[in-house]
Amino acid sequence: MERLDKILAEAGVASRRALKAVIRAGRVSVNGQVVRSPEAKADAAEDAITVDGIPIRRKRTVVLALHKPAGYVTSTEDPRDATVMELLPEAYRNLGIVPVGRLDKETEGLLLLTNDGALLHRLISPRHRVPKVYEAEHVGEADPADVAAFAAGLTLRDGETCLPAELTPLGPGRSRIILHEGKYHQVRRMMAARGMPVTYLLRVAEGPITLEGLPRGQCRELQGEELRRLTD
Ligand code: URA
């Protein structure tokens, strides 16, 4: 159950502020009953909701893949910095879409966004072990001892422990890292714990979704088979 004004805003009827007046004017009905309170709750998927007698569009579930550039914060609002939401086309702005987890301001690469609460929870929960693949440029060169330390579950400098992770050296100063969780600054802190501070970080995949073919700063809506593989 969600607030009626939120459901109507996400269906694209009007802004939440304008909707308060629309609802108070008695123009909105839920299952045939006029509702005059914007705080009233309804079920967007089940209830028959009309405005001026016209049924609203059902809430559309959207999953977006964004190629985040450096310099944008992963948040829906920020008093100082540009947010990843500013990179989304206008049509996606009022659907209640939020980022799935976060990338640091300076990290680039794949960021998923969705308005599907259950999917959001599944993708960020370490229990579901959704792999996140990163490519890092860093000081030094990873060796077999580093690979073993990642595989065993690294302890960070502050004593926090990580789930087993995969580290693959890609040559001097370059490594691929695969994590199944998303702690704050995790890749940077793991690499720092092994004496290899990160100078550039790119997320190239999350579960079955990859960054391939998606230009920096652009997003695309996941559909069909790709969406099924993510949600299965
Ligand atoms: N690990 C980091 O250190 N930063 C990110 O943005 C993502 C993973």
pLDDT tens-digit profile, the chain (232 residues): 889 998 888 888 888 889 999 999 999 999 999 999 989 999 887 788 999 998 887 667 899 999 999 999 999 999 999 999 999 998 888 788 999 999 999 999 999 999 888 888 888 887 788 899 999 999 999 999 999 999 999 999 999 999 999 999 999 999 999 999 999 999 999 999 999 999 999 999 999 999 999 999 999 999 988 888 887 7
* Type of residue at 214: L
Residue identifier of the C-alpha nearest atom 2 of ligand 1? 185
Token digits of residue 145: 């001892």
**Euclidean distance between CA atoms 98 and 35, whole angstroms:** 28
Q: Could you give the CA distance from residue 51 to residue 128 in angstroms, rounded to a whole number? A: 40
For ligand 1, whether the C-beta of 42 sits within 6 Å is: no
pTM of the predicted structure, to 2 decimals = 0.79
Q: Give residue 125's identity as a one-letter amino acid code.
A: S
Residue-level pLDDT at 58 = 67
> What's residue 82's pLDDT?
97
Of 75, 112, 187, best ligand 1 pocket probe by most atoms within 8 Å of the beta carbon? 187
Straight-line distance from the first to the last Cα atom of the chain, in angstroms, rounded to the nearest whole number: 24
Q: Which helix or strand (DSSP H or E) is residue 152 part of?
A: helix 144-152
Q: Where are the beta strands (DSSP E) in the chain?
A: 2-3, 28-30, 33-34, 41-42, 49-51, 54-55, 63-68, 98-99, 108-114, 132-138, 166-169, 174-179, 198-206, 209-210, 219-221
Does 115 sit in the ligand 1 pocket, CB within 6 Å? no
C-alpha torsion sign, points 135, 97, 122, 65: negative
Q: What is the pLDDT of residue 116?
A: 86
183 CA → ligand 1 middle, Å: 8
pLDDT of residue 17: 87
Residue 212's SS3 state is: coil
pLDDT for position 59: 65
- The two three-digit tokens of residue 90, written as one number: 């206008």
